[in-house]
Structure 1
């Protein structure tokens, strides 16, 4: 019986850990949609609808300014502990995501 549980939990654990790998888009891309889908869509969904029951906001309805979005994307916010920061993104890449959010997902 113990072997059965071990055989079941090991693959599940490996699947979970595989989802925790850092995602990367082409480091030179400035395409907001590509960057959004790489860094944001897993939580906020491709349509920006978020997940109310999980406490993930629908970012397509954001009232944040472009500057606020860029700061949030790159540096996070203390009041949003579950929101990861993406310091690996350039200012321009974060701007591309913010523009995609504000202009195409609304």
Structure 2
């Protein structure tokens, strides 16, 4: 990667970089691209993608809880303190024309 590439990426990203900024960003981008190349070199044939990167570490992975209703409907009690309501919804003043 060269400075021309940094300027091209900056242009595509709609960023204005002067020469000094481009020179400062160049080693950072080179490090990112070398990391990507290193990750692409790993043979992943036959491996299933993970839903989350730490799922393979059972101690760190958080188990999914069952999707169950744990509370009953309290809409009517919650609506009693509303200054204005209609059909179970709070009515609020219009703030955007």
Q: Which has the higher strand share?
A: 2
TM over 0.5: no
Higher RCO, Cα 8 Å, sep 6+:
1
Q: Which has the higher helix share?
A: 1
Structure 1 or 2, whichever has the larger Rg, is: 2
